[in-house]
Amino acid sequence: MTIFEASIDICISQHVPENMTVSAEPTTNASPLILTQKLGVWTLLTTTPTRRHPFTVDIFKSIAPTYAALRQNLHDVYSLAPGLLGVYLLISMWESVESAVFLYLSSRVLLLVEASIRRGEVDAAALGKAFVACVLSRCFSGLVSWEKDRVHPLLHHRVMMYYEEYVLRVKLQTDMPSGNDASCKITAEAGNGWRGFESTLTNVTTIASVFLEVAVVLRSSRSKYGPLFPVLCVAQPLVRWGYRHLWEISFVSYSENPDYNRSQALSSLTADTYRREIIGGGLKDHVVNEYAMSRKKLGATCSDDVYNQYERTISPWVVMLRSASVDFPMLYIIVAAIYNPAGLSLSDIAIQQQAASSIRSTVSMLKYCSEDFTRSMVNLVELFEAKAMLSKLADGGVTLQNPSSCTGLSLELRNVVFEYPGNKTNVSSLKGINLTIHPGQLVIIVGSNGSGKSTLVNLLTRLYDTTSGSITVDSLPISSYSLSSLRGSMALLNQDHHVFPFSLYENVALGFPEEFGNREMVEDSIRRGGAEEFTGKFKKGLETVLEPVDSVYSGNLREKNDEGQKALLARSAKLERKVDISGGERQKIVNSRTFMRLRSGKIRFVAVDEPSSALDADAELQLFENLLELREGKTMVFVTHRFGHLTKYADMILYMKDGWIAEQGTHDELMAKDGGYANLYGIQASAFK
């Protein structure tokens, strides 16, 4: 620990702002103490501080565990654009020596001017050469900067696109249990790849720049101030280096302030998700009044970012020391002038001031670079570790066969119990399910909300694994099959499917990508899904994009009477925007995609979970009839609240209640029992009497 860091840690420990309370609570298993701090509306939990190291040690400590990630990153960048990388490295090399070159050349000009004044005669040739060297170096620096502005976006684009594809692949391979588990969330971003490379390069060039500048000062022929002067030049950056930033430590922050939390909840009501209901319900004035009341109750309690509030816990003595340390080099010059006035000249003073400013600026930059490097290395490791993140669903090695004659899957569940990850209740979603579905059967699952119907479908399609019990498919454990072959033999249609940000044609064609160009098949699927009528109303037909990527940006369009701005606004209004359609129309597009998937010839099991929730009665009947028309021996499971159209086709009906299969049988058998199913059927039938 440096003397600066020690003094700062002491100052910080002695300074606790009024709005911050600190307490320590030990954790289990001899874990480090947790410090609890109150910063405005935020509660901040941090681990106890550990011994800090000088910045050079921090840098090498960061490199050591991330060497593999850094090497892979550099290899990726080189393989993408070796030529551009070479030019970029040459530019960076010049940037590392640039400040030292300028410092040397400007010092030389000052020394020649001073020598000319003392001798009373000017060495015009030497002075001219020195000045021309300064000008040429500046011009060369400008040329290098221009070239960097040209090369940087080209290299940045290639690296970003590469890592965007990488992140896309990694995130799409994440299964449902992993995606819902906070500990398995993939937070890696494509930008981490570029920032890791750029931060490494910037850190290396800045370190080189610091050493070169110090070397210029120490080797100056007129320098009489020795090695102490460069040390004083970096005093202020070293004081700043002692600051402890929140991002450097392990922490958790959250708000328990009810007034702040309520104000944020009220503020979120401006989102499109709530806008229709707020306006339609006449709630605008109520929301605004409630927000004003929450703001009044919050009073002067600071809601500023927790990072900024943590920075403000530093002692004022440290801030004053930081400000005063700027003049340490000047103090040295004054002391030198007192003890040896003849040994200093105006050019010496000017050179020293220039050197102090340059070194201080570069070392401050090094502080920023080292901090950024540490963050970038953490993010870079996270980027590459995301690829190795294990899926919670083990991938089996058996390929599920697709026989030439379409035969449905057989499924068997034995003592199946299931709880969703992170379940906060003591009640399982499914409890001891025993069920056998034979190939080609049509099964209808009914029951009230929360009875476990959709959960059962999630297990049959292996979106989740059971908590206990077993599921077999064609006499083998469902986990023994490869996920790709299992999913390839299944079609899942539910109410939660969404319209993709592509054209209507592509939205449907993605059900069977191998036949993407088969327009006849796509149009037939659209007809079966009930989307033919409304898709024909669009000017672009099936090429219409309902939810295009929002790439429209505008600025400085404030003058309503400005003709030029009016023209820009008019042009902007013609750009492709989101098309609002009804929930039923969205469902028809999703249904059409499923019909396209059914045309693949690979589907042996169809799970249909509330696909008609947004459809009218006529569209619902058409959907069920079209699904049954393409049944062709497939095993089908329907989850629905409106089951009147299907009961006459059902081989088996399951009535679920509280996670159990309460009743099981055909329609006639269950009606004869006069139980829960008969009651549900009677409620639906009574609506038509």
Of 362, 388, 414, the domain-final residue:
388
d(CA 616, CA 609): 16
Question: Inter-axis angle of helices 316-324 and 3-14, to 10 degrees?
Answer: 150
Q: Is 236 inside a domain boundary?
A: no
- Listed residue (599, 367, 652) closest to 491, CA to CA: 599
Looking at 388, 416, 439, the residue that finishes a domain is 388
User: pLDDT digit string (tens) for 101-137?
Assistant: 888 888 788 778 877 877 778 788 888 888 899 899 9
At 61 the pLDDT is 56
Provide the angle, in degrees to the nearest 10, between the axes of the packed helices 519-528 and 583-598: 130
500, with CB counted inside 10 A (0-12, 13-18, 19+), is middle
- Residue owning tokens 């509280």: 658
Residues 39, 309: Cα–Cα separation, whole Å: 6
The SS3 assignment for 332 reads helix
Helices within 543-582 (DSSP H only): 563-573
> In terms of domains, do 632 and 589 share one?
no
- Residue 687 confidence (pLDDT): 56
Q: Is residue 309 part of a domain?
A: no
- Please tell me the predicted confidence (pLDDT) of residue 558: 65
Are 409 and 534 within one domain? Answer: no
Give dist(CA 60, CA 80) in Å, integer. Answer: 27
Position 233 in a domain: no
Picking from 43, 47, 29, the residue whose alpha carbon sits closest to that of residue 251 is 47
Same domain, yes or no: 283 and 161: no
Task: Give the amino acid at 69.
Answer: A
Same domain for 422 and 384: no
Same domain, yes or no: 426 and 569? no
Domain boundary among 336, 359, 388: 388
**Within this chain, do residues 384 and 442 fall inside the same structural domain, yes or no?**
no
Is 253 among the domain residues? Answer: no
- Both 371 and 443 in one domain: the answer is no
Query: For the sheet containing 430-437, what is the strand order?
Result: 430-437, 411-418, 468-473, 476-477
Residues 585 and 653 in one domain: no
Q: What is the predicted pLDDT for the residue at 371?
A: 73
Cα first-last separation, the chain: 86
Q: What pLDDT is attached to residue 112?
A: 82
**Counted domains in the chain:** 4
How far is the C-alpha of 395 from the C-alpha of 421, rounded, in Å?
A: 19
Q: Is residue 511 part of a domain?
A: yes
* Cα gap 627→654, rounded to integer Å: 20
Together in a domain, 203 and 102: yes
Do residues 590 and 607 share a domain? no
pLDDT exceeding 90 applies to what percent of the chain?
Answer: 26
Task: Please give the residue range of the domain that contains residue 680.
Answer: 393-489+602-689
Residues lower than pLDDT 50 in the chain: 1-31, 54-56, 221-222
Query: What is the structure's pLDDT at 688?
Result: 54
SS3 at position 379: helix
Give the span between the Cα atoms of 594 and 512, in whole angstroms.
Answer: 9
646 found inside a domain: yes
CATH of the domain at 656: 3.40.50.300
| Phi, psi angle pair for 665, to nearest 5° | 160, -170
- Whether residues 215 and 87 fall in one domain: yes
8 Å CB contact between 99 and 362: yes
Same domain, yes or no: 68 and 163: yes
Judge whether 192 lies within some domain.
Answer: yes
Residue 36 lies in a domain: no
